[in-house]
Structure 1
Amino acid sequence: MTDTATKILDVGQELIQTRGYSAMSFQHIAGRVGIKKPSIIHHFPSKATLGVAIIRRYRDTFTSQLDAIKKNPQTSAWEALDFYFSPYLHFAQTPDTVCLCGALAGEIPALPEEMRLEVKQFMEDHQSWLEGILQNGRRNGELTFSETPARLARMLFNTLQGTLLVKRSTDDLSQLNDVIKVIKRMLK
């Protein structure tokens, strides 16, 4: 991938995470990257193509990181969960940024079908990863909970995603910190 394509993806992702897909335009991106609109079209022929590329890159980055943690036998369930919480904490410390796929989920009815599928896959992948960490943590005696790992994974994922949106609305970082504290207490 060229430097220009990477910059386009970076700016496009930032715009989606702070303003939303509907508010992102090739004109905004071109101005921020310092190129003309046709240069974007050369790399990404449509807004949907760009959107899919942004989501796939985002998903691939998280997937490789989460897989590395899951495959490392030295990583405890608590370390895996702390790693998982870290991007949420990072996003919460910025004034307007939320998870890319969380931002897109709010716009699902307006998204092209290929983007909807990518967002859905992101959500399913994260819940599946959390389920695996919860299963292993319970099996190893690190985590204690009464709910099924699948249901608990859904609850954790949905709670974290929703809390970012609430934090964005209230500008209250304690929202996320409190949620993470409660999650940790639930699992002890």
Structure 2
Amino acid sequence: MSKSQSRSTGGIDIDQLRVPEDDGRNESLTRDEIFEMLSNRRRRFVIQYLKNEEEAGTLSDLAEHVAAWENDSTVPELSASERKTVYSSLQQFHLPKMDDAGIVEFDRRAGVVELTDAASELDIYLEIVDQYDIPWSFYYMGISAIGAILVGLASLGVQPFAAIPPAGWTVFLLGTFGVSSVSHFLLSRGMRLESAETPAEVDDV
């Protein structure tokens, strides 16, 4: 297979993610197509499992692990209906869709699934936001707004904010941004699909 090529020097450009060109499929996935692929938790679990295995997997094993994650259970504890539901869904819908997109190679007859070079080279991670949390973008916007207000009040001599000079507020805000950035980095690493044997989302099921 041909390897994905990025137009950027910092990593994969997901607007031009290349997929194998020898099977007549589209040469690239658009941003919308990638997000559509990853919008479904079951498909994210498929990628997680295959990344952990680092080799082709069988449909039956894949379905069992995905079902266990979805039901917050273990493979031995799964019921026959839970296994069958996920197996049928993967076989009939999700894997063919991922195969058409070039993210996996699915041999329906042999029941074998394997990630393509396109998927393995994409460092996929998702910022998962709980219903009681706020996105990081809003968090940083909030800090910026509050910082501007504090520095402005200190500059105007408004008490008690003027007790700390604008330079002091600036240092405080820089420290806040530094700590927040490190926390954001560590949490984002924890959300990477290949960073753990069990998806981080399982804890939220």
**TM-score, normalised relative to structure 1:** 0.23
Query: Per residue, is there more helix in 1 or in 2?
Result: 1
> Rg: which structure is higher?
2
Query: Per residue, is there more strand in 1 or in 2?
Result: 2
**TM-score, normalised relative to structure 2:** 0.22
